[in-house]
Structures are given as C-alpha cells and as structure tokens.
Amino acid sequence: MLMGYCGMDKIINRNKNISNGTRKSIIFILLIAFLVFISVKMVFAYSFLGGVFGGRIIYTKALEIEEMEAAGYICPMFGTSISIIPIGSPPGTPTSYFIPSYITSKTRTIPAVGQLILGRYSGQTTITCTLTFPSESDPSIATTILTVSLDTINLFGTSRR
C-alpha cells in the first residue's frame, strides 16, 4: 500500500516541477488546437448554407438561356441570369447562375460584363422556356416546352468595373 502511494506522489511531484513557461506553452498550444477545431466546424456548418463562388462576369445572360433564346424559345424569369469565368472558386463551382429580382448587390452595382463578382449560392431555380410554332401536319399552333435549372444566388457583390 505504501509503495502505491509513493508512486503516485512521484507523478504529482513531476507535474509540480513543470515551469510556468512550459505550462503557458502547453496551454497556448491547446488553445490554438481548440480554435482550429472550432474554425473547421464553422466552415463545415457554413458549407451547408450553400456554396461560394467568385469570378469575372462574361455574359449578363446564362449561356443555357442564351442558347435557348437564340433557337427561338422565350424564357421569362423574375430576375436575371449571368455566366462567369470562375476565379479562385472551389473545383466544380457552377458557371451559370440565376439572381432573383429581390436580391441586390451588396456593393450597389448592377452586374455587367467584365465585372468581378463574389457571392454565395444555394438551391436551384427552374426556368421554363417555350417555343411556339405552327405544326406542318396540323396548322394549329404547337408548343414545345423545355426547362433550364440554374443555381440561385442569395448573396453577392460586384466590382465597380
């Protein structure tokens, strides 16, 4: 019994022999590890809110919408669409987006070709495009409907050109 107590006493005395500088260093390292852990958790939680993107605006209409309208389709939307060249965005970031009419730039500028853009997107908006034409077999009007899905921007800012 006495032997066990002496062994424990040695461990306690070893901990008492740690200098204040060493204790501060250990606490500092543990604090940094804790902050890194918390920041990783915050980034992971933020990623559930949607993706982030950045780039240069190349068209003030999404390429998918532009192609449909060039083929004669009419694509009404309550907002605008853009196409960008990603710069510094994570791999797999989309290049075409829809901006709802109620979302405004935080920099109070209207998106234009050549501007830099940075923002956050989540979810998708489906845009219905229609093509109306007379059918050859039936002279009555025929309609073709196609849909385009674009990632929806919920926060963005653009450069001043």
User: What pLDDT, in 10s, does the model give residues 142-153?
Assistant: 788 999 999 999
Q: Quick one: CA torsion of 55, 109, 157, 90, rounded to 10 degrees? A: -10
Higher pLDDT, 147 or 18: 147
**Distance between CA 13 and CA 60 in Å, rounded?**
72
Q: What is the mean pLDDT of residues 46-53?
A: 69
The pLDDT of residue 63 is: 93
Is 90 exceeded by the pLDDT of residue 62? yes
pLDDT in tens, 24-41: 777 777 777 776 666 655
Among residues of the chain, what percentage have pLDDT more than 70? Answer: 72
pLDDT in tens, 99-117: 999 999 988 888 999 999 9
The pLDDT of residue 41 is: 54
> What integer best gives the mean pLDDT of the chain?
80
Q: Domain map of the chain by residue range?
A: 2-47, 51-158
The pLDDT of residue 4 is: 52
Q: What is the mean pLDDT of residues 132-139?
A: 70
> Which residues, including other chains, have CB under 8 Å from residue 62's CB and lie 6 or more apart?
81, 82, 83, 96, 97, 98, 148, 150
The pLDDT of residue 78 is: 92
Across the strands, what pairs with 53? 119
State the DSSP H helix or E strand holding residue 94, giving kind and residue range, or none if neither.
Answer: none
